[in-house]
Chains A and B, each alone.
Chain A
Amino acid sequence: MSVTTASPGTFSHIGYVLRGNPVTLLSFVMFAILIIAAVLGPVLVPYDPLASEAANALQPPSWAHWFGTDNLGRDVFSRVVTATRLDLMISISAVTLSLMAGSVLGAVAGYWGGWLDAVLNRVMDTIMAFPLFVLAMGIVAALGNTVENIVYATAVINTPFYARLVRAEVNIRREAGFVHAAKLAGNSDIRVLAMHIFPNALPPMMVQMSLNLGWAILNAAGLSFIGLGVRPPTAEWGIMVAEGANFIVSGEWWLAVFPGLALMFAVFTFNLMGDGLRDIVDPRQRT
């Protein structure tokens, strides 16, 4: 294991991971497409996603309307692309919230243990004991039918997974030599936990996070599908699938299929990204 050059920087390491695994590269390209659609989507699309044109309703896909038009004559392509921003925003903020909450709770429980650990574990068990989608429905119904509440509900049902993971990762490192060494170097308990132990839990967290992102998108779309959260006429994949479902029987398949495919594309992207993200944040992958 002799390496003659200095260790590569972060960017060259990312480059190395992407070159080493074509699937990771593909997932990052797909992710880039999603981000472009989210940031620039409303500017790029050919039609106003909310403008209806009754004369042009329920047209099949054509050169003018790539994904066809819906029952109000709105361009499905424009709506699918515009919806990316909302769907990504909901899932990313929900996952970020649950990641932060789960990290803090799990790290505290794993490091100090004792009654704190016992109490936090039982609370997490309680959340996980519910059918999670039903729990999310309940939370949105109780807190009020808004986009923020979808975010909170999704965050709550995801938190236990992170808390469990971080707790286990922190717990096995609590008595490691480098933790004692960090204390000898003058780090207080909180600094040891935050700066020395927690970063070592990041690689498995990345896998969990990317899987959860896909799941959070599905969850948000699912809530909209049953009429909670985002409300028409806002463009959102879940609502579009729900509305389009009524027309599948009469042969207008494009209303539901295209937003459904977009949903699938997003979930697929996040599921593929996990391993690559883990390799990027794990310094042991560097040689």
Chain B
Amino acid sequence: MLSVTNLAVRFQTRRGPVDALKGVNLEVASGEILGVVGESGSGKSVTAYSIMRLLEAGGKVVDGTVRYGGVDLSDPSENQMGNIRGREISMIFQNPRAALNPIRRVGDQIGDVLRRHARATRTTAKAEAIKALEAVRIRDAAARVDAYPFELSGGMCQRVVIALALACDPKLLIMDEPTTGLDITTQKAVMDLVADLIRDRGMSAILITHDLGLASGYCDRIMVMRDGEVVERGTPLSLFTAPDHPYTRRLIDATPRLGARIRELLPVEARTPMPERRVENEPLLEVRNLVKTFPSRSGPVHAVRDVSFTIRKGQTLGLVGESGCGKSTTSSMVVRLLDPTSGQIIFRGEDLAATPASRFARDPRRARIQMVFQDATDSLNPRHTSRQTIAEPLRRLGTGASNDRIAELADLVGLPLPLLDRFPHQLSGGQKARVGIARAIALDPDLLILDEPTAALDVSIQAIVLNLLIDLQARLGISYLFVTHDLNVVRLLCDQVIVMQGGAIVEQGPAEQVMRNPATAYTRSLVAAAPQPPALGDAAQ
């Protein structure tokens, strides 16, 4: 149905031409879902954009052909291509909010597409839009059709985008990381929905993702890309059970999954023995009856309701929940960036909540609690070099920033010394994460809050960062409060886990136990929603 032969794409940049695709071949048969898996920079999105002829200005197809149903897609005029996009081939983009026009009602946006392709007239557009919304199982579609994108949740927006993409019954659907930024239960709901729709309508699809687990759950065939080339292709089972290419093997290893230990995420040659870790009995942090209520026009919002927990010295506590469950608010209060409405934060016997957040910056206890932020890019000052960033806490709260200490920290987190004089935009995602961790441990804190520190990283980098965190904990005896929505990672890293929903704790206990035998329906749904790749060596099944 779709066949891409020897596709090569080159981008013109300030540093000269860059080959984004180096001869990619792929075929999608009718009724098939093809998974394209790769890490950032592998060229998987560029492949999709080239098929749709949506490459940005700097990019050019230098070789190869894209044939769709026998037609060479480089032939049609831009106008004819407009007819093909949407009616024949449709695309779902990464960020559903960005893909929708923020100032127009969702029904109007669907109506536009229908009218553009002569599927509806001005009078029938609204009724057709409601039908399209019902097709993606949006409840109460007749009311939602008049909503603006900002009035809908992320999952709802993605459903609208899917409705848009499917409005004109395309034969081929290209999904570019369709569930990035969605909670895992929402991710599962959205992916199940798309898979059903594709099956019911007999469509073909290409699923572009960095998540091997997700791809293996929904695709008939998977191809793995790296540096603009296809390194391996096969069915999910054959890929997982007998990967041919060493890169595929590394990628599979690095994907957190059931039964894997944290060292097993690393390539075989990098698996050093697990360091000895000591969890002491003495509690380091005790949070008692923490409450945070935000005032709002429609009455008070209870972000955190009566949360209590304890972290022992050297222990890792996982804080799990979906967006809006109050886990970020809780961690902001513990790290003293936000004042609680009521409750106590007892740290080594003293109540930190007694000191307001605005005065805590100059408090001597500030150095004892530090944080690694979710988005490494956002958390580094774009005007500061890595050295300045790491030196900042040493200079403000420590005994001064000596070059020796900075070099020692860089060494601890595995940051090559020449990178110390680079600005954030000159570093890769993994390197930025290391700078953020080096800054956080610069003052030898007792407690480190890790706010989804690997959410924005590729799986292979995530594997390295998680192992780094474990090593640091063993060496420095730090306690971690690990905030995340990724249960597979919690299983790897945490001793204890807390599950939050609607601002309250619904379940807590040892991580292994909560993951294996969840006591509440909510935790069960979270565990079930986490994508599970088939385990290595399952060929017998």
What residues of chain A have their CB less than 8 Å away from a CB belonging to chain B? 1, 3, 6-7, 176-178, 180-189, 196, 199-200, 283-284, 286-287
B381 close to A182 (CB less than 8 A): yes
B367 close to A186 (CB less than 8 A): yes
A7 close to B421 (CB less than 8 A): yes
For chain B, the count of residues having a C-beta within 8 Å of the partner chain is 35
Which A residues are in CB contact (< 8 Å) with B423? Answer: 7, 283-284, 286
Taking A180-B337, A180-B373, A185-B396 as contacts, is the C-beta distance between A284 and B425 under 8 angstroms? yes
Q: Cβ of B426 < 8 Å from any Cβ of A?
A: yes
Taking A185-B393, A185-B397 as contacts, is the C-beta distance between A7 and B371 under 8 angstroms? no
A181 close to B439 (CB less than 8 A): yes
A178 close to B381 (CB less than 8 A): yes
Chain B 14-57 per-residue mask, 1 if CB under 8 angstroms from chain A, else 0: 11000000000000000000000000000000000000000000
| C-alpha spacing A287/B13, complex, angstroms | 12
B14 close to A287 (CB less than 8 A): yes
| C-alpha spacing A176/B424, complex, angstroms | 15
| Given A178-B378, A178-B379, A184-B393, 5 more pairs with CB closer than 8 A | A184-B366, A187-B392, A188-B362, A286-B426, A287-B426
A199 close to B383 (CB less than 8 A): yes
Which B residues are in CB contact (< 8 Å) with A284? Answer: 382, 423, 425
The winner among B381, B426, B428, B440 for most chain A CB atoms within 10 A is B381
Partner of A182, one of B358, B374, B392, B440: B392
Q: How near does chain A come to B164, taking the closest CB pair, in angstroms? A: 29
Q: How near does chain A come to B52, taking the closest CB pair, in angstroms? A: 26
Partner of A287, one of B15, B362, B428: B15
Which A residues are in CB contact (< 8 Å) with B392? Answer: 182, 185, 187
- Which 6 pairs, one residue from A and one from B, show the smallest C-beta to C-beta distance? A177-B379, A186-B396, A185-B393, A177-B378, A186-B397, A178-B381
What residues of chain B have their CB less than 8 Å away from a CB belonging to chain A? 14-15, 335, 337, 358, 361-362, 366-367, 370-371, 373-375, 378-383, 385, 392-393, 396-397, 418, 421-423, 425-426, 428, 436, 439-440
Taking A1-B426, A185-B393 as contacts, is the C-beta distance between A7 and B358 under 8 angstroms? no
A186 close to B393 (CB less than 8 A): yes
Q: How near does chain A come to B15, taking the closest CB pair, in angstroms? A: 7
Which B residues are in CB contact (< 8 Å) with A3? Answer: 422, 426
Complex A-B: 10 CB contacts under 8 Å: A7-B385, A180-B337, A180-B379, A181-B379, A181-B380, A184-B361, A186-B361, A186-B362, A186-B393, A287-B426
Which B residues are in CB contact (< 8 Å) with A176? Answer: 378-379
| C-alpha spacing A204/B423, complex, angstroms | 19
A184 close to B426 (CB less than 8 A): no
Which A residues are in CB contact (< 8 Å) with B379? Answer: 176-178, 180-181
B361 close to A177 (CB less than 8 A): no
Which B residues are in CB contact (< 8 Å) with A188? Answer: 361-362
B383 close to A283 (CB less than 8 A): yes
Q: Tell me the nearest residue of chain B to A189, going by C-beta.
A: B358
Which B residues are in CB contact (< 8 Å) with A199? Answer: 383
| C-alpha spacing A7/B422, complex, angstroms | 6
A1 close to B361 (CB less than 8 A): no
| C-alpha spacing A156/B439, complex, angstroms | 42
Q: Tell me the nearest residue of chain A to B41, going by C-beta.
A: A1
| C-alpha spacing A196/B381, complex, angstroms | 7
Q: Tell me the nearest residue of chain A to B360, going by C-beta.
A: A183
Which A residues are in CB contact (< 8 Å) with B15? Answer: 287
Q: How near does chain B come to A248, taking the closest CB pair, in angstroms? A: 50
| C-alpha spacing A3/B383, complex, angstroms | 18
Taking A7-B423, A286-B423 as contacts, is the C-beta distance between A184 and B335 under 8 angstroms? yes
Q: Tell me the nearest residue of chain A to B393, going by C-beta.
A: A185
A200 close to B361 (CB less than 8 A): no
Which B residues are in CB contact (< 8 Å) with A283? Answer: 382-383, 423, 425
Q: Tell me the nearest residue of chain A to B376, going by C-beta.
A: A177
| C-alpha spacing A3/B386, complex, angstroms | 15
| C-alpha spacing A185/B396, complex, angstroms | 6
Which B residues are in CB contact (< 8 Å) with A200? Answer: 381-383
Q: How near does chain B come to A265, taking the closest CB pair, in angstroms? A: 32
| C-alpha spacing A283/B427, complex, angstroms | 13
Which B residues are in CB contact (< 8 Å) with A181? Answer: 371, 373, 379-381, 436, 439
Which A residues are in CB contact (< 8 Å) with B382? Answer: 178, 200, 283-284
| C-alpha spacing A184/B15, complex, angstroms | 37
B383 close to A177 (CB less than 8 A): no
| C-alpha spacing A176/B378, complex, angstroms | 6
| C-alpha spacing A177/B367, complex, angstroms | 18
A187 close to B396 (CB less than 8 A): yes
| C-alpha spacing A186/B381, complex, angstroms | 15
B362 close to A7 (CB less than 8 A): no
Which B residues are in CB contact (< 8 Å) with A183? Answer: 337, 361
| C-alpha spacing A6/B337, complex, angstroms | 35
A185 close to B375 (CB less than 8 A): no
Q: Tell me the nearest residue of chain A to B439, going by C-beta.
A: A181
Which A residues are in CB contact (< 8 Å) with B397? Answer: 185-186
Which A residues are in CB contact (< 8 Å) with B393? Answer: 184-186
| C-alpha spacing A283/B381, complex, angstroms | 11
Which B residues are in CB contact (< 8 Å) with A286? Answer: 423, 426
| C-alpha spacing A3/B425, complex, angstroms | 11
Q: How near does chain B come to A270, taking the closest CB pair, in angstroms? A: 25
| C-alpha spacing A3/B426, complex, angstroms | 8
